[in-house]
Amino acid sequence: MVKIKSSKIKEIFNNLKNKKIAVIGDVMLDVYYWGDTNRISPEAPVPVIDITHEEIKPGGAANVALNIKSIGAKTCLFGIIGNDLYGSNFVENLRNYDINIENINIDPTRPTTVKTRILASNQHVIRFDKEDKNFISTKLEKKIIKDFEKNMKNIDGVILQDYNKGMLTPAINKKIIKLCNENNIIVTVDPKLNNLSSFKGATLFKPNLYEAEKILGRKITTEKDIEKAGLDLIKKLDFKHVVITLSEKGIALFTKGKKMEIIPAKAMKISNVSGAGDTVIASITTFMCAGATFKQACTIANYAASLVVEDVSIVPVNPDDLLKRLKNSGVVV
């Protein structure tokens, strides 16, 4: 287990307020309908949910930004929404969370991405999505890159947050990574399965186990398989670090030229793993920018993820709860 001196953790948390992390990627709305069910529909063999309340919050790359802000750092968000009611709701939600919206672009040719979940008795019953997975236009590509260049001097780290919804084109990925490397800015990637070669040269690459299998075209079952996968990803795409999230088994860490390390999962209970990856990438990037080593940042992120998976909805990590868990676990000495 990584041990972090209390003086060091205090320094890291104090540094957060002076750090700014840009999140560039697929933004969306997460919509929740909560209710009860105790009967089957006479129209079809499906449960009838009596809705008691609803919750609408920014999701996708916006949830990563919420995690960064909740942790205690500053953030700026680059994304695309549609010219629709959901887009207006998304903007209003960001304002409520006090997140700057000046780099959120409206594309009238596509809908705002929405993921709607219906839950009964704290269990997911169904989810349905509204989205357009086509790449954004060349005109929007150029605008996003130009907007990033204008903001770059005030940015300490960048997260490329990809959900295959069309925002992160190969041109954007390559240009952002090039600019970050030229200006010594940490740039991390939370990928899906498209355009992988365009992420080449990023500081850190964070797939989950399923994504790593699809990227490499093989099953990953044993610890030896995991180690080979991480090392192959570093070699294939020239990353400095790779983190493979292993769900209930924790996270596997890789650094170029070093052996794999696995940090076991720390959750007390698991209610919902959705959003855990957002918390991991947000925490690793933010804490590295605040002065934590790669391994320290990954350890902190692992405990941050343990907190959010205990909630049935998607929530950002609470820094006070995180610090308490780090102390109670013996990480902070």
Active-site position among 26, 156, 162, 278: 278
Strand order in the sheet with 123-130: 50-60, 27-36, 114-120, 123-130
Biggest CA pair distance of the chain = 63
Token pair 């920014």: residue: 58
Query: Residue 119 to residues 4, 129, 220, 227, 272: CA-CA distances in angstroms?
Result: 39, 15, 32, 37, 12
Q: Are 281 and 188 in contact (CB under 8 A)?
A: yes
Q: Is 50 considered catalytic here?
A: no
Q: Is the dihedral of CA 234, 198, 168, 176 positive or negative?
A: positive
Residue 107, φ and ψ in degrees, nearest 5? -115, 105
- Bridge partners of 159? 23, 188
Give the angle 317-8-295 at the CA atoms, nearest 5°. Answer: 65
* Angle, CA 29 vertex, CA 23 and CA 32 arms, to 5°: 135
Q: Where are the beta strands (DSSP E) in 62-172?
A: 74-81, 104-106, 114-120, 123-130, 157-161
Give catalytic residues, as residue numbers: 278
